[in-house]
Amino acid sequence: MTDHDHPHVDAAHYRQVLGHFATGVTVITAVHDGEPVGLAANSFTSVSLDPPLVLFCAGHSSSTWPKIKAAGHFCVNVLSSEQETLSRQFAGKGDKYEGVGWKPGISGAPMLNDVLAWIDCTMESLHDAGDHVLVIGRVLALDAKDLRPLTYFRGGYGTL
């Protein structure tokens, strides 16, 4: 089947329909040239237990993704229900770390304060997928707290 055999899918309708899938909200962090960098992502999932692997998707158009890629490691920070502002801060432009507390994980990537969970990883593999790249990371260390998650559904934030 060629690309010509596939029907056209309207991008706005695609986004609207897939927005009906509720996700958690993460901030992917790294250190590049001595400076902390990060981006918000809701495209995150576990991949494998043995070896322990996780996956997130980064847009090719992201200005932060090349810095995370160059770092070769990252930390997935799973946000709690109290961290909507943090998600918006990392989804935007400007100083993403303004007022944000963190400490370095095993890989050196920032583990943000007060997150629901953190997963410190080294990059295992990258796979081009349309306008995004699938980033598979090997888990080095992880931990979680007993907090409520921040969720994203139909274009808005919520909690369970």
DSSP code of 132? E
Helices (H), the chain: 11-18, 65-71, 84-91
In a domain, 3, yes or no: no
Residue type, 70: A
> By mean pLDDT, which of 15-29, 30-44, 94-108, 133-147 is the weakest?
15-29
pLDDT (0 to 100) of residue 26 = 97
Tens-digit pLDDT profile for residues 84-94: 999 999 998 88
Contact of 151 with 78, CB cutoff 8 Å: no
> From the CB of residue 64, how many other CB atoms can be counted at a distance below 10 Å?
20
Q: What are phi and psi of 140, to 5 degrees?
A: -100, -40
**Cα–Cα distance for residue pair 4/25, rounded to 1 Å:** 35
Q: What is the mean pLDDT of the chain?
A: 93
Mean pLDDT of 61-79: 97
User: Do the beta carbons of residue 42 and residue 58 sit within 8 Å?
Assistant: no
- Give the pLDDT confidence score for residue 93 in this predicted structure: 86
pLDDT in tens, 112-123: 999 999 999 999
Query: How many distinct structural domains can be found in the chain?
Result: 1
At residue 6, the pLDDT reads: 76
The residues, any chain, with a CB within 8 Å of residue 13's CB and separated by 6 or more, are none
Classify residue 105: in a domain, yes or no: no
Closest residue by Cα to residue 28 from 81, 82, 71 = 71
Would you say residue 29 lies in a domain? Answer: yes
Please report the pLDDT score of residue 160 as a whole number.
80
- pTM for the model: 0.91
Q: What percent of the chain has pLDDT over 70?
A: 98
In this structure, is residue 1 part of a structural domain?
no
Does the residue 85 lie in any domain?
yes
Residue 57 forms part of a structural domain: yes
* Cβ-contact 109, 102 below 8 angstroms: no
Q: Is the pLDDT of residue 15 over 70?
A: yes
pLDDT at 152: 93
Structural domain harbouring 40: 25-100+118-159
Residue with tokens 């770092």: 71
- Residue 30: CATH number of its domain: 2.30.110.10
Q: How far apart are CA 122 and CA 131, in angstroms?
A: 23
CB 157 within 8 A of CB 26: no
pLDDT of residue 2: 59
Domain membership flag for residue 122: yes
The answer to whether residue 68 is domain-embedded is: yes
